Structures are given as structure tokens and as C-alpha cells.
Amino acid sequence: MPAPHRVVIVAFPGVELLDVTGPAEVFSVATRVADPGRSGYLVRIATADGGPVVTSSGVRLIADLTLDEVDGQVDTLLVSGAVDVRDHGVEPVLDRGVVDWLRGAAPGARRTGSVCAGAHLLAAAGLLDGRSATTHWLTAARLAADHPRVTVDPDPIFIREGSVWTCAGVTAGMDMALAMVAEDHGPDLALATARMMVMYVKRSGGQSQFSVPLAVPEATGDRIGELRVWIGEHLTEDLRAEALADRLHLSVRHFSRLFHRRTSTTPAAYVESVRLESARRLLQDSERGLAEIAAASGLGSVESLHRSFRRRLGTTPAEYRRRFR
């Protein structure tokens, strides 16, 4: 029997429990349902000292080995994440020991990935420079601000660039792990794994990690937050940057800078995301035709609908409806 794929998941105090156990369970179930003779996965949890760590939920995780004991060929190296909820917002937790270790260990792994806020550790180790990446939408703006050499996209469930993977918050780690199973063994095993776990068969990496039109202002007087809500309620109106800037009585240049600082994206990209989210919900939840959906979502024409789906999701409206209804 071929040797199993060796998966090492790095944990540290305060880590999100499901960031570790979610992907671990996907790989474990894939091993159990794989055909005899097919290589499965050997999952190990590594911590700085090899001792137990207390997760954010208070549940203790027992490590299999220390970081220094991680040697030999690592097929998949995953870094879990942690956040610190404070009065002024959510802060990603950076374990400096893990960051320093990653600089030396990650290049030796065939595939490296982060779960949720673990992307901040990969970025701090320089592993995301020049790449596109995602993380939990609550910390995406911080990731972009702290690491300007990283192209942060706060929307997708997960992003793969070469051998480096990043994913959105918490349960998105299971979607990413399923995609890794599909890459290693084909879609049939990924499908069988998802069915065994009673998971959504497969959320594609391009599927949004949160519902854009439901964004609400974080505080009274949050003009950009209020504008985002207004955009979601007026998709068929003129939503060009000039019109939005005029609505806030700002110059286009100042408005665009303010919007990007607040959302980590441009007004045009955000508007397209909102319209695309509306089109996706209509495809999933209604029997409307493509022309009607394009008009209702503000995308205008069927051609624009197709272009937006192909550019942002890598699929067609018809294929999306077939997969996600």
C-alpha cells in the first residue's frame, strides 16, 4: 500500500478548535472511505513544546509532537488561527514562535495552507508575499494593511496559488481540506467524504464566505457602512464610483481611498461582488431566467452576467445553478 500523505496541523494557545479538528476530520474520513490500496492521510498535531494547548473554546488539544520534531517529508502543512476579541474590534493572534518556525519549515512541505486567521502567520513569515490570499472577513482589512505585498481578497471561501492555500473563517477549513482531497485523489473521494460527513457536497473556492448585501454599519455615523447597505438595496441604480462619491459629497479620489481603507477593495469591485451575490441567490432560490436575473441584480445583460461569473467564480450561471440549488 502506498505511504499515506503526511498532514501536520500547527496549533498554539487560544487557537480556534475547529480550525484544527475540522480539516483533521476531513482527512481522517477520506482515509476511511478510500478504496483499499489507495493512500490515505496520517494527521498529526504539532505545538511548540508538544504539550496540550487550550483552545478558544476552553477544550484542550493534545499534541502528537513538538514543532522541532516535525521532520522528514511533510505533504501538507496547515497553520490554524486565533483571534482576540477586544473592545475596539477583532485582532488576529500572532504566535511569534510559530512564525519563526514556519520560515524554515514551510519550504520543505509539498503544500502549505492556513485556516482562518492562520493566514496572518503565513504572511508574517513572508510566505504570502506576491500572492493572492484570503482569511476571515473580520480580519481581512488588517491582513491587507499589515502586509501590502499580499493581495487580499476577503470574499472567497479559499484561494489556492501554487502550493500555498488560504481559506476563510473556521468551517471554510473543511471546504479547503475537501478540495485538497479532490486534488490528491479525484472528485469521487471528495464527494464520498462530504457525504459521509453530511457536508455540503462541495463549496467551490469562488463561493462567497459571507453575504455581501447583508453588511451592516458597525457604528452610528459609519458612512461607508451605511453606503454598503444602501448599495445592497439599490442594485439597479447608477453605482459607479462617481455617483457613490457624489452621494457622500466627496471627491471621487477621496471617496475611493476612504472606501478601500474601510473595505480593502475598490468601489467597483465591491459593487460587482454585491450584484454577483444577488445573482447567485436568485439562481439558487428562484426559477427566473438569466435575462431577468441579470436585470434584477444590476448586472444588466446576460453577457455581463456570464463575464462576471467567469471572472469572479470561474464558472457559468447555469453551472452554478446546477451545483448550488
Same domain, 189 and 217: no
Task: Measure the CA–CA gap between 309 and 210, rounded to whole angstroms.
Answer: 17
Same domain, 283 and 192: no
Domain containing residue 275: 212-324
Which residues lie below 8 Å from residue 114, measured CB to CB, with a gap of 6+?
Answer: 78, 79, 80, 81, 121, 122, 135, 165, 166, 167
> Is residue 126 in some structural domain?
yes
Same domain, 316 and 173: no
Same domain, 178 and 298: no
The CATH number of whichever domain residue 158 belongs to comes to 3.40.50.880
The three-class DSSP label of residue 297 is coil
Predicted confidence (pLDDT) per residue in 183-238, tens digit: 999 888 988 998 899 886 545 555 555 444 444 444 446 789 889 889 988 999 99
Same domain, 85 and 120: yes
Same domain, 160 and 225: no
Same domain, 140 and 190: yes
Give the mean model confidence (pLDDT) for residues 157-179. Answer: 93
Same domain, 91 and 221: no
Number of C-beta neighbours around residue 128 at 10 A: 26
The CATH number of whichever domain residue 292 belongs to comes to 1.10.10.60
Q: Is the pLDDT of residue 72 over 90?
A: no
Same domain, 274 and 148: no
Count: domains in the chain: 2
pTM comes to 0.68
Contact (Cβ atoms closer than 8 angstroms) between residue 140 and residue 134: yes
Query: How would residue 245 be classed by pLDDT, with cut points 50, 70 and 90?
Result: very high
> Is residue 205 in some structural domain?
no
> Is residue 241 in some structural domain?
yes
Same domain, 16 and 145: yes
Which residues lie below 8 Å from residue 35, measured CB to CB, with a gap of 6+?
Answer: none
Give the mean model confidence (pLDDT) for residues 44-60. Answer: 96
Q: What is the pLDDT of residue 218?
A: 47
Q: What is the pLDDT of residue 322?
A: 80
Same domain, 157 and 251: no
Same domain, 223 and 79: no
Amino acid at 192: A
> Is residue 201 in some structural domain?
no
Residue ending a domain, among 142, 163, 196, is 196
Give just the sign of the alpha carbon dihedral 231, 234, 240, 244: negative
